Chain A
Amino acid sequence: MEFTTVVFYFFAAILLAAGVRVITARNPVHAALALVLAFFTAAGLWMLLEAEFLAITLVLVYVGAVMVLFLFVVMMLDINIERMRQGFWDYLPIAGLVAGLMVVEMVMVLGGERFGLVAPEPKPADYSNTRELGLLLYTEYVYPFEIAAVILLVAIVAAIALTLRRRPGVKWMDPARQVKVTHEGRIRMVNLKPQKPESKTE
């Protein structure tokens, strides 16, 4: 067995175990951490395929940004684990049956020989995966790339539209206005006429 094959099975085994952990872990924080592990091992697998850029991006974006944010949210929210897990055991038999069926079928159907694929030749050391990707992305794939950008824009618009709401009567500060304050705005000079103390109509 070649060394890369050993590495592949090593990562693959961890990936599967981590994946199972994500859905079985009792504590949501543990589940999120298992997901982080899954991402790491997936990145390792991609490395084996010489997709260095994608592997690093996966770690940077998903582990570095998305999962950290996710962990924050999970930790801050008070999630009632018991309630979330209600019914888990009720559905387990049927769900397990369906899952088992799918696994059996996938094992039957999916195999390298069925796709007729051959492993690509290893690229020389000076080959830049990143540049090739960039070249493709900005030439041949420019149209999907632009659409992906629009999707992100929509995501931003949607997130803002759904979360930004001005509740009436909420106390808040506007630093810009605080800075711009002048003395005319703060003090109003009123010319009061002297009045007799007994007139209390003011």
Chain B
Amino acid sequence: MQATNFPMPDLLPALPEIVVLVMACVVLLVEVYSKSRAAGYVLTLLTLLAAAGVTTFTAGPDTAYTFSGMFVDDAMADLLKLMTYLAGIAAVIYSRQYLADRDMFRGEYFALLLFAVLGMMVMISASHFLTLYLGLELLSLALYAMVALQRDSATAVEAAMKYFVLGALASGLLLYGMSMLYGLTGTLELAKMAEALNAGVKSELVLAFGLVFLVAGLGFKLGAAPFHMWVPDVYHGAPTAVTLFIGSAPKLAAFAFAIRLLVDGLQPAHGDWQQMLAVMAVLSLAIGNLAAIMQTNIKRMLAYSTISHMGFLLLGVLTGTFAGYSSALFYVVTYVIMSLGAFGMVLHLSRAGFEAENLDDYRGLNARHPWLAGVMGILMLSMAGLPPFVGFYAKLTILQALVGSGWLWLAVLAVLFSLIGAYYYLRVVKLMYFDTPHAEAMAPAPAGDARLLLSINGLAVLVLGILPQPLMALCAYAMQASLQ
């Protein structure tokens, strides 16, 4: 046998991933032997907290590579992972009552959720096409299963089917694009690819060709038009608890995916992908905002709103400047916070046998539950981008970066669509405050923990709006430390 002198990889940077993986398996096993349904719930929360602890402990400005340069642990990864845990914890707490009411409060759900979190962490820390792709597949597979977990619901199964088939198609496009770039540069490692591209490639044409497929795969993951078709159907069809999860944390991973792929690996081809992103951003803003106006289902409305938000996010990325990236990071972090709150409210107002998913269900909410209506109002106004809520700053910094890099017409277009978009958010506020409630009283689930978290969530949007500086500085710092 031929001897190898392969050194043991440094496992410390990947400790959070290891913790989550081990605990996901433990949750599965505990489910088999434990009588208590709550065991998985508690273990999941503990796992995410432990992972947060480990990540915080190992966080720092230094960038560490391990596993033969396939895994990177930098400041941006730390920040995004922490946000992912936070989103996971919020998703678990918000959905406890909902799952219990629908016989989904089982170990499989929590194990799948942890696997999905693991997939996102892999994506966030990927520095190699292979790990990027595998992380994406791990995340997607777990999400497909979660969507279908409510087996008696025909819409959920249909949504899962659509998500799966279209996701497979998107994966195919992505792989095809990756293979083009591999052929062109002879490497799959992002840093080396950037070097190879800087040194010059044989054919710019092939580069652009491969890029289109990569960007299409990325667009699907983000839910940006014209690869957005799955978003409304899946958001609508999936059980709300799963929609909450899909609508929040994976956006962080998708953002990391975009930065790793386009910035770490393909920065030299910036001129090409910038225009592709511009096309997708404009389409997303237009389709998202205009179609949202016509919705009567709040989950669908939020789905279209997601599409428009992702358009905004792309605007930040496409500038190709440091200011653009850090504002996009800030945007995605704040968007996840708002999205968690909004879907959390939909969950909280649902109860056994009743989904609070029609806009009509929110009529006169203020008369019955002024506090909840207030929190929802804050979330909607923030999503609309009104000051003094955090959504305003998120949009503002993106616009600033856009104007700063000379994309004035895009900035004007973005403002125009945001103004149109404000209408459907304000309609929710209007329904809650000015319409008379339905005869059938809306009774929120008696979940004190979820209510407390919702209040914190809503207030966070307000407080971050009044004091956005620290988070903004943190995002800029993380980007700075990662991109140097």
Contact of B131 among A105, A115, A144 (CB under 8 A): A144
Q: B148 on the interface (CB 8 Å rule)?
A: yes
A147 touches B131 (CB 8 A): yes
A135 touches B112 (CB 8 A): no
Interface residues of B (CB under 8 A from A): 2, 4, 6, 9, 14, 21, 25, 28, 67-68, 70-71, 106, 108, 111-112, 115, 118, 122, 128, 130-131, 134-135, 137-138, 141-142, 144-145, 148-149, 151, 183-184, 202-203, 205-206, 209
Given A114-B203, A155-B141, A161-B112, do A144 and B130 touch, yes or no (CB 8 Å)? yes
Question: Which residue of B118, B128, B145, B202 has the most chain A CB atoms within 10 A of its CB atom?
Answer: B145
Q: A110-B209, A147-B135, A165-B151 are in contact. List 7 more A-B contacts (CB 8 A).
A: A109-B203, A114-B202, A115-B206, A141-B130, A154-B138, A157-B112, A162-B148
Q: Mark A107-150, 1 if CB is under 8 A from B, else 0.
A: 01110011111000000000000010001000111111001101
A106 proximity list for chain B (CB < 8 A):
209
A–B complex contacts, Cβ < 8 Å, 17 sampled: A106-B209, A108-B205, A109-B203, A114-B202, A114-B206, A115-B183, A115-B203, A131-B2, A139-B4, A141-B70, A143-B67, A143-B70, A143-B131, A147-B134, A154-B112, A157-B108, A157-B115
B184 touches A115 (CB 8 A): yes
Q: A158 on the interface (CB 8 Å rule)?
A: yes
B6 touches A140 (CB 8 A): yes
Q: Which residue of B lies closest to A116 (CB)?
A: B202
A131 proximity list for chain B (CB < 8 A):
2
Q: Is the interface of A mostly helix, strand, loop or mixed?
A: helix
Q: A49 on the interface (CB 8 Å rule)?
A: no
Min Cβ gap A124→B in Å is: 15
B138 proximity list for chain A (CB < 8 A):
147, 150-151, 154
Min Cβ gap A99→B in Å is: 15
CA–CA, A13 to B142, complex, Å?
38
Contact of B183 among A105, A117, A139 (CB under 8 A): A117
Contact of A135 among B4, B9, B71, B128 (CB under 8 A): B4
A108 proximity list for chain B (CB < 8 A):
205
A143 proximity list for chain B (CB < 8 A):
9, 14, 67-68, 70-71, 131
Q: Which residue of A lies closest to B141 (CB)?
A: A154
Contact of A157 among B28, B70, B203 (CB under 8 A): B28
A154 proximity list for chain B (CB < 8 A):
112, 115, 138, 141-142, 145
Q: Is the interface of B mostly helix, strand, loop or mixed?
A: helix
CA–CA, A158 to B108, complex, Å?
8
Min Cβ gap B338→A in Å is: 29
B131 proximity list for chain A (CB < 8 A):
143-144, 147
CA–CA, A144 to B71, complex, Å?
10
B67 touches A158 (CB 8 A): no
B144 proximity list for chain A (CB < 8 A):
158
A114 touches B145 (CB 8 A): no
A155 proximity list for chain B (CB < 8 A):
141
A162 touches B184 (CB 8 A): no
B28 proximity list for chain A (CB < 8 A):
157
Give 3 nearest A-B pairs by CB, closest first.
A158-B145, A143-B67, A114-B203
CA–CA, A23 to B296, complex, Å?
39
Q: Which residue of A lies closest to B129 (CB)?
A: A144
A147 touches B141 (CB 8 A): no
B108 proximity list for chain A (CB < 8 A):
157, 160-161
B141 proximity list for chain A (CB < 8 A):
151, 154-155, 158
A135 proximity list for chain B (CB < 8 A):
2, 4
CA–CA, A140 to B66, complex, Å?
10
A142 touches B9 (CB 8 A): yes
A157 proximity list for chain B (CB < 8 A):
28, 108, 111-112, 115, 145
Min Cβ gap B73→A in Å is: 13
Q: Mark A159-171, 1 if CB is under 8 A from B, else 0.
A: 0111001000000
B137 touches A151 (CB 8 A): yes
B203 touches A150 (CB 8 A): no
